[in-house]
Amino acid sequence: MFILLYRICPCLSQRLVSLRSKEPDALSQELAQFGQELMLCGTDDLDLITGRACPIRQLCFLEQLLTVVQGSAGPGGDSRAGGEGLLKELFSPEALPHLTHTLTPTLNPWPAQIRAAQKGQKSLPSRPRGEEVADVTALLESTRNTLDQLHKQCVFLRDEATRPSVFSVCALRVAVCDLAQIMGVFNRVYETDFRSYVNRDPPSLRPHTHTFRTVHTLLSACNTELEMLQQLLVTSVSLSDTVKDVHTHPRYWSRGHRQTLPTQLEDLTRRYRVPHP
């Protein structure tokens, strides 16, 4: 593990050797601190440093160390040269202003050319608000005209909106077209997939219109019967209300008072009942 850490950071070699000869516990703590800086372990994970952790954790930790070693090594195997080159590039005169802005950021840390581009974008002339409103109004008017044209083309929608209870020929035409398409699709599926499983011949589809006339006649008769039943229901409700009103409201005079029909009938029954001998 000491060799792996030396490959990652060679500058720690002298310090680690001195700690190893004087204080072994301090060496483990220093290695744990370095592992925390690498985000591989915590400062209290001394069992990983001393090799007392479970085998799975130990192997995972060593695998992460090897990954860091492979990533820190340069193409020629000299990581120190790569680090020195990076430092020279960071502290070069061209990059020094950017480094200064990074260390002490302000409200606008962008380079001069980016700030100039942003100023150019901000200085673009904006369109007047009146022109924007006019464009939006024109777009809305164009959309409304398009919708009106579509509504005029959809005749069945206009007929249903004006006369919802009247039979629509356009709606029947659309339903017949849909039915023809469904029957055609079923015929193709039947011939390709289900023909081998059926022994009898399929029914022949004739192009005549008497079938649709018959269906239309039956549907019209059904609608007529439903209207008759609805009228009968309304009449029955009205008759029930009339009978209830006759039985509950006092309308008949008897001995100076108004009485209901059941009370009047009971009074007449008691009055004219023939006594038994």
Of the candidates 32, 53, 28, the residue with the CA atom closest to the CA atom of residue 41: 32
Which of 195, 225, 248 marks a domain boundary? 195
Dist CA 180 CA 169 (whole Å): 16
Q: Would the CA dihedral through 268, 269, 271, 274 be positive or negative?
A: positive
Q: Does 76 have pLDDT greater than 50?
A: no
Which of 141, 172, 195 marks a domain boundary? 195
The reply to whether 215 falls in a domain is: no
Which of 172, 195, 218 marks a domain boundary? 195
Strands (E), 112-267: 252-254, 257-259
The pLDDT tens digits of the residues spanning 126-163 come to: 566 777 788 888 888 888 888 888 878 776 666 555 55
The reply to whether 220 falls in a domain is: no
Q: Is 256 left (phi over 0), alpha (psi -120 to 50) or beta?
A: left
The reply to whether 187 falls in a domain is: yes
- The residue range of the domain holding 177 is 133-195
| Class of residue 31 by CB neighbours under 10 A (exposed 0-12, middle 13-18, buried 19+) | buried
Q: Does 166 have pLDDT greater than 50?
A: yes
Phi, psi angle pair for 79, to nearest 5°: -75, -25
Phi, psi angle pair for 53, to nearest 5°: -75, 170
- The residue ranking higher by pLDDT, 36 or 85, is 36
Mean pLDDT of the chain: 74
The reply to whether 22 falls in a domain is: yes
pTM over 0.75, yes/no: no
Q: Does 165 have pLDDT greater than 60?
A: no
Q: Does 255 have pLDDT greater than 60?
A: yes
The reply to whether 14 falls in a domain is: yes
The reply to whether 106 falls in a domain is: no
The pLDDT confidence band at residue 218, using thresholds 50, 70 and 90, is confident
In percent, the amount of the chain with pLDDT more than 90 equals: 5
Q: Does 224 have pLDDT greater than 70?
A: yes
Place of tokens 């690498």: 38
**Structural domains of the chain, count:** 2
The reply to whether 151 falls in a domain is: yes
Please give the pLDDT value at position 235: 92
